[in-house]
Structure 1
Amino acid sequence: MTAVQGITVDIPTEDGVADAYLVHPGDERPRPAVLFYQDAFGLRPHLQSMADRLAEAGYTVLLPNVFYRNGRVPVFDLPEFIDPAANPNTWQQIMPVMKALTPELAMRDAGAYLRFLADSPLVADGPVATTGYCMGARLALLTAGTCPDRVAAVAGFHGGQLATEEPDSPHLVAGRVTAEVYFGHADQDASLPPEQIQRLEEALTAAGVRHRCEVYEGAHHGYTQADTPAYDQEAYERHWTALLDLLERTF
């Protein structure tokens, strides 16, 4: 297993400074980069451990605090084990912050994250990959459609609201995506009903995007998050297989 080094970095954006977790193999050679988008609960130890695992596989990984406008990490006062059903205040903290991060703001930030990676001596020349979880799956797809020349691979897991009927729905960027795309949906996920899964599939197919969308049977929204009740070990390991396969094909 490759030893990795992780540090906190500050990334200048058009609206301030985003704190982020940057982790890379310890030899400090330039490696392909992965822009890792958080879920709604924010940048925290479990997500850092996931970024570490990606770095162990040979990648430089940037995990930004996408809620930086609301403060540095930790943005929310959450327990080590996050169970919103047991604490109704959880979503009261998070929802206003999520809603304030519009696609326009998020993609302005994406440009800053991609510039940071392009300038880093720890990142190999060429395009990057994006991966995201829950709301991060939306951000990963939007980034690929907004910056198609910079993103060669997109992965999203238990993403919600990926193909709504709203004018800013993520699936509407499909025609601009040049990356290979993989989605691992949860079949027990009210935030991504079957009609949205179908709409996303149809949009990617119509745009000629090389992609694969799979539904993880029995998995719930948040199945990769070991610090929540939604965690599913089997689905979690399946997601790693799919993600690493995608990255190996890309890089």
Structure 2
Amino acid sequence: MTSTRGTSVDIPTQDGTADAYLAYPDDGSPHPAVLLYMDAFGLRPNLKQMADRLAGNGYTVLVPNVFYRHGRAPVVELPEFIDTAERPEILQQISPLVRALTPEVVERDADAYLRWLADCPQAADGPIGITGYCMGSRLALRTAGTHPDRVAAVAGFHGGQLATDAPDSPHLVADRVTAEVYFGHADQDASMPPEQIERLDKALTEAGVRHRSEVYPGAHHGYTQADTSSYDAEAADRHWSELLALLDRTLRRTDGAS
């Protein structure tokens, strides 16, 4: 693993300033950029550690606080270990923030994040990768569909409501996606039932998108997040293997790295 640095940064957007975390290899060279979309629990130490791990594998990683309109992170105070069964009020606080992220808002913010990365000295020129967790999977897919010229790879893990009957369902952007796509669905996830997985796969296939969609047996919604009661070490390890393989084959070839 490469030694890394992490720092807080501010990103100007059409609606204000988004605070964010930037992690990158500490070698003075630019590296392929990855946009990491947070889960609903927000920008916190666990996500920073995940960004650091990606940076240690040779990437410059930006983790924006997508709830910035409601304040700087942490927008909602969280315990060190998150168990919503014991603390249901956490979801009650978070739900309005998630609902406020309309497709229009997500697209405006994505434009700001990508512009910022394009000017970031630690980020190499060329397309970027995106990884998203829980609600971040929806943001990742929508960003890939609205910025196909900038995004070479998209990964989403334990995402929910990715292919609903709604007229603005995320899967409807599939015909605009040019990136390679990977989804790691949670087996025990009521927010992404088999019929939605099938609808998502069908949309990506019909659009000619190179993709893989896998269901992780026994995994629950949130399985990658080590600071939550949903964490599944085996599924999380599998996620890291798939994510790094995707980024390596899509971003390394664009910056001339082996």
TM range (shorter): over 0.9
Deviation of residue 28 (structure 1)? 2.4
Partner of 1:226: 226
Partner of 1:188: 188
Partner of 1:108: 108
Partner of 2:142: 142
Partner of 1:175: 175
- Please report the RMSD computed on the Cα atoms of aligned residues, expressed in angstroms: 0.5
Deviation of residue 103 (structure 1)? 1.4
Partner of 1:10: 10
Pairing of 1:117-156 with structure 2 (within 5 A): 117-156=117-156
Q: Using the alignment, how far apart are the partners of 1:246 and 1:91 within structure 2? A: 32
SS in 2 for 1:226: coil
Deviation of residue 121 (structure 1)? 1.0
Amino acid at match of 1:97: L
SS in 2 for 1:19: strand
> Residue by residue, what CA displacement relative to the aligned partner does 1:126-161 show, whole Å, maximum 9, x if unpaired?
110000000000100000000000000000000000
Amino acid at match of 2:248: E
SS in 2 for 1:79: coil
Amino acid at match of 1:99: R
**Which consecutive unaligned segments of at least 5 residues does structure 1 have?**
none
Q: Using the alignment, how far apart are the partners of 2:124 and 2:155 within structure 1? A: 20
Q: Using the alignment, how far apart are the partners of 2:155 and 2:35 within structure 1? A: 10
Q: Using the alignment, how far apart are the partners of 1:157 and 1:151 within structure 2? A: 17
Partner of 1:66: 66
SS in 2 for 1:250: helix
Amino acid at match of 1:42: G
Q: Using the alignment, how far apart are the partners of 2:225 and 2:9 within structure 1? A: 24
SS in 1 for 2:153: strand
SS in 1 for 2:167: coil
Q: Using the alignment, how far apart are the partners of 2:239 and 2:55 within structure 1? A: 16
Deviation of residue 13 (structure 1)? 0.1
TM (norm. structure 2) is 0.97
> Residue by residue, what CA displacement relative to the aligned partner does 1:195-231 show, whole Å, maximum 9, x if unpaired?
0000000000000000000000010000001111100
SS in 2 for 1:9: strand
TM (norm. structure 1) is 0.99
